[in-house]
Amino acid sequence: MRLVSPCLICGRRSESGLCAECRANFERAKSVSDAPVLFSDGAYTLFDYSSPTVKRLIFSLKTRGLRGAARVFSDAVFASAKAIPREIVCVTFLPRRSLARKRSGVDQAELLARAIARKFGLPCLKLLRRRGVSRTQHGLSFEKRQENVRGKFAATKTVSGIRGAILLVDDIITTGASATEACRTLREAGARRIYVLAMAKGGSR
Ligand SMILES: [Zn+2]
């Protein structure tokens, strides 16, 4: 049973984080599509980022670290079976730049990964960390982004011991450069199969 709480978008009465109207908008924005992530065995995005409802949910995840928003997304992942292949044995996330994390105190990809892992009864493991300071990716072309993120992640030793597939979670995929570099790093560290799941496909700034 869910408790009645204010809607995360409009503040009206809701039973699952969103009121009926915002829930309908959220459901309408659902569109599973492939994302351009090299070194992965499959990469998907679940929602259309041009939807104001999706945008606001991701924004509240990012700025306020709202667990309710992470739960709304993890419920949606659970509902669309196609988004998570059965062979996955653990969930991990693409860590934010430390400056961004320091500023807001939250890592939205980690929040999402933890909520998704909980929903599926899988462990959530921190398998990647950022190395050094990377510049923001805003306004860079795919090639420049690729260059910018090269070598920016380091994998933990745990990776080579994972027998099954790993699910790498992120909030938004734009060009896929960061996720590509994260997958490359995980592969180098011995990951066998990697799937990538982001809540939305970006592009609009
Ligand atoms: Zn609402």
**Domain boundaries defined on the chain:** 31-201
Write the pLDDT tens digit of every residue in 18-39.
999 999 999 999 988 999 899 9
Residues 6+ away with beta carbon under 8 Å from 152: 130, 131, 132, 134, 178, 181
Distance, CA 4 to ligand 1 centroid (Å)? 13
pLDDT exceeds cutoff 90 at 127: yes
Distance, CA 24 to ligand 1 centroid (Å)? 9
Give the CATH number of domain 31-201; options: 3.40.50.2020, 3.40.718.10, 3.30.70.120, 3.90.260.10. 3.40.50.2020
Residues 165-179 have a mean pLDDT of 94
Distance, CA 9 to ligand 1 centroid (Å)? 5
Distance, CA 202 to ligand 1 centroid (Å)? 23
Residues 115-137 have a mean pLDDT of 87
Distance, CA 13 to ligand 1 centroid (Å)? 8
Residues 53-82 have a mean pLDDT of 88
Helix 108-120 and helix 67-79: axis angle, to 10°?
50
- pLDDT on residue 83: 65
| pTM exceeding the 0.85 threshold for the entire prediction | yes
- Do residues 198 and 179 lie in contact, with contact meaning Cβ atoms separated by under 8 Å? yes
- What type of residue is 68? G
pLDDT exceeds cutoff 70 at 82: no
Distance, CA 70 to ligand 1 centroid (Å)? 16
**The two structure tokens encoding residue 117:** 């892992």
- Do residues 60 and 66 lie in contact, with contact meaning Cβ atoms separated by under 8 Å? yes
Write the pLDDT tens digit of every residue in 147-158.
777 889 999 999
List the beta strands (DSSP E) in the chain: 5-6, 13-14, 30-34, 42-48, 88-93, 128-130, 153-155, 165-173, 193-201
Distance, CA 173 to ligand 1 centroid (Å)? 25
